[in-house]
Amino acid sequence: MYKKFFGLKENPFNVNPDPRYLFLTQHTQEALACLTYGIQCRRGFLLLTGEVGTGKTTLLNKLLIWLKRQHVATSFVFNPNLDPPQFFDYMLADFGLNLDARQKSQMLLRLNKWLLERYLKGGTAVLIVDEAQNLSPEVLEEIRLLTNLETSNDKLLQIVLSGQPELEEKLNRPELRQLRQRITLRSKTQPLTAEETHQYIQARLRVAGSNGSPLFTREAVEVVQQYSEGIPRLINLLCEQGLISAYAEQMKPVPAEVIREAAREFKLDLVSAPTSAPNGDDAARLVEAFQTLATLMDKMRKRG
Does 210 lie in the same domain as 171? Answer: no
Residue 243 counted as domain residue: yes
CATH number at residue 62: 3.40.50.300
Does 127 lie in the same domain as 42? Answer: yes
Does 184 lie in the same domain as 287? Answer: no
Nearest to 238 by CA among 299, 278, 297: 297
CB distance 99 to 154 below 8 Å: no
Does 281 lie in the same domain as 178? Answer: no
Domain extent for 159: 26-188
Last residue of a domain, one of 135, 155, 188: 188
CATH number at residue 299: 1.10.8
Does 183 lie in the same domain as 222? Answer: no
CA quadruple 113, 118, 119, 125: dihedral, nearest 10: -100
Does 238 lie in the same domain as 173? Answer: no
In a 3-state reduction of DSSP, which class is residue 161? strand
pTM for the structure as a whole: 0.86
Does 166 lie in the same domain as 207? Answer: no
Does 183 lie in the same domain as 196? Answer: no
Strands 183-188 and 45-49 come out as parallel
Task: Compute mean pLDDT per 10 residues along the chain, 304 residues long, and list them.
Answer: 93 94 96 97 96 96 96 95 93 89 85 95 96 95 94 95 96 94 96 97 97 95 97 97 96 97 91 46 51 50 46
- Which pLDDT belongs to residue 296? 53
Strands 45-49 and 125-129 come out as unpaired
DSSP 113: H
3-state helix, strand, coil in the chain (%, to 5): 55, 10, 35
CB distance 48 to 160 below 8 Å: yes
Does 264 lie in the same domain as 161? Answer: no
- Which pLDDT belongs to residue 270? 77
Nearest to 208 by CA among 23, 12, 3, 2: 12
Does 177 lie in the same domain as 221? Answer: no
Last residue of a domain, one of 138, 161, 188: 188
Does 207 lie in the same domain as 175? Answer: no
- Return d(Cα 108, Cα 35) in angstroms, integer: 25
Task: State how many domains the chain has.
Answer: 2
Residue 129, beta-bridge partner list: 77, 161
Strands 157-163 and 183-188 come out as unpaired
Task: Share the mean pLDDT of the chain.
Answer: 90
